[in-house]
Amino acid sequence: MISVDEARDRILAALRPLPAETVGLSAGWNRVTAAPVAARLTQPPADVSAMDGYALRAADGGLGATLRVIGAAPAGHPFGGRVGAGETVRLFTGSVVPEGADAILLQEDATRDGDRVSVNEAVVAGRHIRRAGQDFSAGDIVVPAGRRLTARDIGLAAAANHPWLVVHRRARIAILATGDEISLPGEPIPPGGIVSSNSHALAALVRALGGEPVVLPVARDDEATIAATADQIHGMDMLVTTGGASVGDHDLVIKALRARGMTLDFWQIAMRPGKPLLFGQLGATPVLGLPGNPVSALVCAILFLLPAMARLGGLPAAAPPSMPAILGAALKANDHRADHLRATVSSDSQGRLVATPFPVQDSAMLRRLALADALILRAPHAPALPEGAEIRVIRLDSLGL
């Protein structure tokens, strides 16, 4: 058996980021940049007023002074002239400070009477002026390559004058569930059969990870049927299978795809839930074989498909994001298999994340997995831990997983 980390490292080593495509700015949210976004202009482009008020020469803005209003510069309509001695120009937040002026008299510190303005609070040179380039200057990298774009990044790229963005292509992930015993929801269920949940749970997971799922028809436990899928994955960036990969009498996926030329890593992984994991290469397409058990399939997808899709999508090759937490209930020592305990989370009075494992961790309990907020990571042979011990968790609740 190999470790979770080794299995993940071997998967990640076999994958390369997908090539780039150009998308419209409005389609860029949640995509990963394949090139840095450099500002195409300077923001603000000139010195601008940070407040509503009047532009003037600081020397003219002593308490009690009176100035002559020679114009106005609403945002978008800069004043073309120059502010001379004793003169002032009406400004608004964002208005370009006109030539000659070096101070702002705030609206609330001014009394206007026709074309005259008197100063009720002495101005300070430069105050309330935002300097050209305060936010960014032309050529500045405002969004680096390899960043998953937030709504704020989209705003920043827009402000930097980019109507288009260069992003990594979305990973197209073909999903193949196998098994004589499974039916899709709403379809007739044979005696002893179960409703297949893996395909659509994994498809949703692929969406949550920013990819495009392609759900293949369920393949019966028949070598020829499974082998035929090998002809249907052209253009897919990965084939994910579930079931048929146990050490029992029914490891048909391996047999069938091997017969089609799949090179194969097949591992027993020292982990729970899970254990058998298949990774291989079928022509140009990587193949990830997950367990058939729905809880094991989803946990293995979080541990292996999430980093694989991140890597394909242009993000760093890394373990799924985990964070420190405090254990909410004592744990027994772990055996030789890395464990991933389904847990709820809360915050304690000191703002620390507290993760409390469900008392029963049976891998057949999908409902409990759905109720979990996090997976508590337990290393092989981890010692018994008291309540309050420091642990690490993978949060599930905020990722839509």
Taking CB under 8 A as the criterion, the residue among 167, 202, 341, 374 binding its own copies is 202
Q: Does 193 bind its own copies (CB under 8 A)?
A: yes
238, two tokens: 């990965």
Query: Quick one: 64 or 192, whose CB is closer to its own copies?
Result: 192
Taking CB under 8 A as the criterion, the residue among 250, 268, 315, 344 binding its own copies is 250
Quote the CA–CA distance of 393 and 320 in Å, as a whole number.
10
Taking CB under 8 A as the criterion, the residue among 28, 273, 276, 280 binding its own copies is 28
Q: Does 188 bind its own copies (CB under 8 A)?
A: no
Q: Does 44 bind its own copies (CB under 8 A)?
A: yes
Q: What is the number of alpha carbons within 13 Å of residue 64 lying toward its C-beta?
A: 0
Pick out residues in 208-247 that bind its own copies (CB under 8 A): 208, 215, 221, 246
75, two tokens: 């945002």
Beta bridge mates, 87: 68
Q: Does 130 bind its own copies (CB under 8 A)?
A: yes
Quote the CA–CA distance of 129 and 49 in Å, as a whole number.
5
List the beta strands (DSSP E) in 74-143.
Answer: 87-91, 103-106, 110-113, 116-119, 129-130, 141-143
Sequential DSSP letters for 243-282: SS-SSSTT-HHHHHHHHTT-EEEEEEBSEES--EEEEEEE
Q: Does 171 bind its own copies (CB under 8 A)?
A: no
Pick out residues in 58-77 that bind its own copies (CB under 8 A): 73-77
Stretch near its own copies under the rule CB under 8 A, chosen from 7-15, 224-232, 263-271, 344-352 = 344-352
Query: Quick one: 330 or 364, whose CB is closer to its own copies?
Result: 364
Query: Quick one: 14 or 23, whose CB is closer to its own copies?
Result: 23
3-state secondary structure of 151: helix
- Those residues whose C-beta lies under 8 Å from the C-beta of residue 249, and which sit 6 or more positions away, are none
Q: Does 386 bind its own copies (CB under 8 A)?
A: no
Pick out residues in 280-309 that bind its own copies (CB under 8 A): 292-294, 298
Q: Does 125 bind its own copies (CB under 8 A)?
A: no
